[in-house]
Amino acid sequence: MTQSESVNADTTADSELGPPKPCSGILDIAAYVTGSSQAPGVNRIYKLSSNEAAIGASPAAIEAYQALAGELHRYPDGGAVELRHALGEHYGISADRIVCGDGSDELLGLLVQSYAGAGDEVLYTRHGFAVYKIAALGAGATPVTAAEQNYTPDVDAVLDRVTERTRIVFLSNPNCTGTYLSADEVRRLHAGLPANVLFVHDAAYAEFVDAEDYSAGFELVEAAENVVMTRTFSKAYGLAALRLGWCYGPAAVIDVLNRVRGPFNVTAPAQAAGIAALGDQDFLDRARRHNDEWRPWLENEAKAMGFRVVPSVANFVLVGSRDGGPADELNRHLISRGVLVRGMGGYDLADFLRVSVGSEEETRAVVEALASFPASNPD
Ligand SMILES: Cc1ncc(COP(=O)(O)O)c(C=O)c1O
């Protein structure tokens, strides 16, 4: 074959092959919808759509972040050693069993990528965190949902959905509805799982929970070989912009995550701010006290106006249409007043809006906007 014949043969083959195709499952992903941040034509915006911190971030964390401005040319510590040791000391756990991530989102994705693939099932509850489905499809695995009761994960329903193809069970606890499962119920769920299933206790909102029967999951991780707990600095610690999460798990799972994660997956400013935030207990206490004051106020005001409210232990509240129909009209009304909340259609809850607990001013603005929604309106 001459050189030109060879080129022609390649060209023909290429046109038959077509352009590169993503792996199976990828095009089934509906991209994650982030909380909205814009309301056209409105002067003052109250962004309560992403469960961000109501009182901002710890001044110590901000200072630590700013102190690194002159070091942007340096790679971060790839092992996040100081941060892992700070976490280990803070919680009385081994730093060797912690991996830090670019938000807990990254760690959730890496867990799926490492433990599930084509033909495997990834199980979570109906109103669980949207990233589980995205991660499952991204790995070519099959997402499977279990029913909830009263917007709360139902242990028996989850166990009923376990098959020999189940590789991972995710539990958002607190749930994305604001409810939670007690430590006893979580233990019962775990006890019903086969040993080869990885149980991921996603405790993103743990810092806000006051309930005595709740646990973020430390004991379960310590008692089992198949449990990991994921946590984040995005919520109570107010470091969402820095993208910082972490995972506590058995040595074997930590080893796997360290193999697959990016070599410098957590930025230096995020590591420094995380260490400073952990050291500022006063800030965390203030964040909790603020939430303990304004969440019940928001719940009670919304209920008094006839809206349905799901009782929450987290830093947000589900506010539902009055009649159980879609909450779109209510959402449009809030947007027209600059109040941005999260429509819950993507969580199979089109009749609810999720409202983050904001500052006093923001929370009062939500309540005023709710109050100006006509009572005769079907929402
Ligand atoms: C239940 C749950 N898990 C995990 C996350 C991810 O948090 P991050 O990636 O910011 O750490 C969120 C964020 O909204 C969440 O609601």
Confidence of residue 332 (pLDDT cuts 50, 70, 90): very high
Query: Does residue 338 surpass a pLDDT of 60?
Result: yes
**Mean pLDDT confidence for 302-314:** 97
- In this structure, are 48 and 141 located in the same domain? no
CATH of the domain at 34: 3.90.1150.10
Percent of the chain with pLDDT over 90: 87
**Mean pLDDT confidence for 115-121:** 97
- In this structure, are 226 and 288 located in the same domain? no
Ligand 1 atom nearest 232 alpha carbon: 11
- Residue pointed to by tokens 């890496």: 110
The amino acid at 327:
A
In the three-class reduction of DSSP (H, G, I as helix; E, B as strand; rest coil), residue 1 is classed as coil
- In this structure, are 287 and 359 located in the same domain? yes
- Lowest mean pLDDT, pick from 6-20, 144-158, 191-205, 335-349: 6-20
338: Cβ–Cβ under 8 A, 6 or more apart, which residues?
A: 39, 42, 43, 44, 45, 46, 365
66: Cβ–Cβ under 8 A, 6 or more apart, which residues?
A: none
- 268 part of a folded domain: yes
CATH of the domain at 230: 3.40.640.10
3-state SS string for 202-224: ECCCHHHCCCCCCCCCHHHHHHC
Rounded to the nearest 10 degrees, what angle do helices 360-371 and 281-304 cross at?
10
Could you tell me the distance, in angstroms and rounded to a whole number, from the CA of residue 145 to the centre of ligand 1?
18
What is the per-residue pLDDT for 14?
A: 77
Among 240, 257, 279, identify where a domain stops.
279
- 94 part of a folded domain: yes
Query: Does residue 5 surpass a pLDDT of 80?
Result: no
**Mean pLDDT confidence for 66-75:** 97
**Mean pLDDT confidence for 128-156:** 97
Torsion of the alpha carbons at 337, 342, 346 and 350, rounded to the nearest 10: -60
Q: Where are the alpha helices (DSSP H) in the chain?
A: 3-17, 59-66, 81-91, 103-115, 131-138, 155-160, 183-191, 218-223, 251-260, 268-279, 281-304, 328-336, 360-371
- In this structure, are 37 and 181 located in the same domain? no
Question: By alpha-carbon position, which residue is closest to atom 13 of ligand 1?
Answer: 204
Could you tell me the distance, in angstroms and rounded to a whole number, from the CA of residue 105 to the centre of ligand 1?
6
Q: Bridge partners of 353?
A: 319, 343
- In this structure, are 49 and 84 located in the same domain? no
pTM of the entire predicted model: 0.94
- In this structure, are 201 and 310 located in the same domain? no
- 111 part of a folded domain: yes
> pLDDT digit string (tens) for 275-291?
999 999 999 999 999 99
What is the per-residue pLDDT for 171?
A: 98
Could you tell me the distance, in angstroms and rounded to a whole number, from the CA of residue 203 to the centre of ligand 1?
9
CB 181 within 8 A of CB 189: yes
- In this structure, are 72 and 180 located in the same domain? yes
Could you tell me the distance, in angstroms and rounded to a whole number, from the CA of residue 4 to the centre of ligand 1?
55
- The preferred substitution site among 49, 131, 318 for testing ligand 1, maximizing ligand atoms within 8 Å of CB, is 131
Ligand 1 atom nearest 50 alpha carbon: 14
- In this structure, are 51 and 192 located in the same domain? no
Strands 339-340 and 148-149, bridge-based pairing: unpaired
What is the per-residue pLDDT for 12?
A: 64
Q: Which domain holds residue 241?
A: 59-279
CB 175 within 8 A of CB 125: yes
What is the per-residue pLDDT for 75?
A: 98
- In this structure, are 274 and 299 located in the same domain? no
